């Protein structure tokens, strides 16, 4: 089914989605309450505005995903750690950083990692209209594809923030929206051990629920290039060996795409 038949109206958004969106944007219409809107727009497991890829049903599978790069020197350090362990991961890169560090993104691609789009400037898309959303996602996707010479298939909304126009745009551009089900909180962790504890706890929780784990970490920071990600690099290094000995298989997101 094409994006047009899914969203077949003159403006590209069908009536139901448009009503939900107008209500959600707080235009005064009865509909979703503010709390409901924030759940629909931000909660990773919510499907109210559209479906996103999170993980598969094999509890032994774990996808490591890194957002907000490329970021010197930590993206390169992560690449070394992953290579030593023969693990491939998924990197959701920010367009404006790709422009600054195209070589790092090419290196990631050549090392076999999956590169996804994380918009051009990392805005909260839930408050934005179709035009700005198209520019944020479309410009970044085109830039990444030019940089690596390969099609981009995955998109992760910054902050997990989304609205119906985000899903419409992703469908239009043949991008699979991706969220996560393990949060490492690595951006505010005081130590690598704290990150490791959250990773182990999150993966174990998903295993009890008989599902794979899509782990959110950060090789960069959306506010500036050069964010300190030493703890994330160390936590990754400490996770890989023991996790594999424990029967974990590290996968990239394409493994779970229908």
Closest-CA residue to 157 (of 37, 44, 23, 46):
44
Residue with Cβ nearer Zn ion (158 or 212): 158
**Structural tokens at position 173:** 């551009």
Residue with Cβ nearer Zn ion (153 or 218): 218
Residue with Cβ nearer Zn ion (95 or 158): 158
Binding residues for Zn ion restricted to 48-77, rule: CB under 5 A = 67-68
Stretch binding Zn ion (CB under 5 A), from 6-14, 152-160, 177-185, 196-204? 152-160
Binding residues for Zn ion restricted to 211-250, rule: CB under 5 A = none
Of residues 67, 68, 186, 219, which has the active-site annotation?
A: 67
**Smallest gap, in angstroms, from Cβ of residue 122 to Zn ion?**
6
Q: Is 68 a catalytic residue?
A: no
Residue with Cβ nearer Zn ion (119 or 213): 119
Which of residues 158, 160, 177, 220 is near Zn ion by CB under 5 A? Answer: 158
**Smallest gap, in angstroms, from Cβ of residue 199 to Zn ion?**
18
How many residues bind Zn ion (CB under 5 A)? The answer is: 3
Closest-CA residue to 119 (of 111, 108, 128, 109):
128
**Structural tokens at position 225:** 């290039």
**Structural tokens at position 90:** 């998924």
Secondary structure of the chain in the HEC alphabet?
CCHHHHCCCCCCCCHHHHHHHHHHCCCCCCCCCHHHHHHHHHCCCCCCCCCCECCCCCCCEEEEEEEEECCCCHHHHHHHHHHHCCCCCEEEECHHHHHHCHHHHHHHHHCCCEEEECCCCCCCHHHCCHHHHHHHHHHHHHHHHHHHCCCCCEECCHHHCCCHHHHHHHHHCCCEEECCCEECCCCCCCCHHHHHHHHHHHHHHHHHCCCCEEEEEECCCCCCCCCCCHHHHHHHHHHHHHHHHCCCEEECHHHHCC
Give yes or no for residue 196 binding Zn ion (CB under 5 A). no
Stretch binding Zn ion (CB under 5 A), from 9-17, 25-33, 154-162, 230-238? 154-162
**Smallest gap, in angstroms, from Cβ of residue 159 to Zn ion?**
7
Q: Is 219 a catalytic residue?
A: no
**Smallest gap, in angstroms, from Cβ of residue 94 to Zn ion?**
7
Of residues 168, 218, 219, 222, which has the active-site annotation?
A: 218
**Smallest gap, in angstroms, from Cβ of residue 140 to Zn ion?**
12
Residue with Cβ nearer Zn ion (68 or 219): 68
Residue of closest CB approach to Zn ion: 67
Start-to-end Cα distance in the chain: 14
Which active-site residues does the annotation give? 67, 218
**Residues contributing to the site for Zn ion (CB under 5 A):** 67-68, 158
């Amino acid at each position: 089914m094409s994006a047009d038949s899914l969203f077949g109206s003159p403006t590209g958004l069908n009536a139901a989605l448009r009503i939900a969106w107008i209500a959600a944007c707080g235009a005064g219409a009865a509909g979703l309450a503010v709390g409901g809107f924030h759940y629909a727009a931000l909660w990773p497991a919510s499907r109210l505005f559209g479906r996103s890829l999170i993980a598969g049903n094999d509890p032994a599978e774990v996808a490591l995903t890194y957002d907000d790069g490329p970021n010197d020197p930590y993206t390169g350090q992560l690449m070394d750690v992953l290579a030593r362990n023969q693990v491939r991961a998924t990197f959701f890169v920010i367009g404006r950083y790709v422009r600054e560090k195209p070589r790092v993104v090419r290196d990631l691609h050549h090392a076999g990692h999956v590169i996804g789009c994380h918009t051009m400037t990392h805005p909260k898309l839930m408050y934005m209209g179709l035009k700005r959303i198209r520019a944020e996602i479309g410009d970044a996707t085109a830039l990444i594809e030019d940089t690596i010479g390969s099609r981009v298939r995955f998109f992760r909304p910054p902050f997990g923030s989304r609205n119906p126009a985000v899903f419409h745009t992703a469908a239009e551009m043949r991008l699979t929206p991706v969220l996560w089900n393990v949060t490492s909180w690595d951006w505010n962790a005081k130590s690598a051990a704290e990150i490791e504890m959250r990773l182990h706890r999150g993966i174990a929780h998903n295993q009890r629920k008989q599902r794979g784990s899509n782990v959110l970490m950060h090789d960069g920071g959306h506010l500036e290039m050069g964010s300190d990600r030493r703890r994330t690099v160390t936590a990754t290094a400490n996770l890989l060996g023991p996790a594999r000995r424990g029967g974990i298989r590290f996968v990239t997101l394409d493994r779970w795409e229908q």
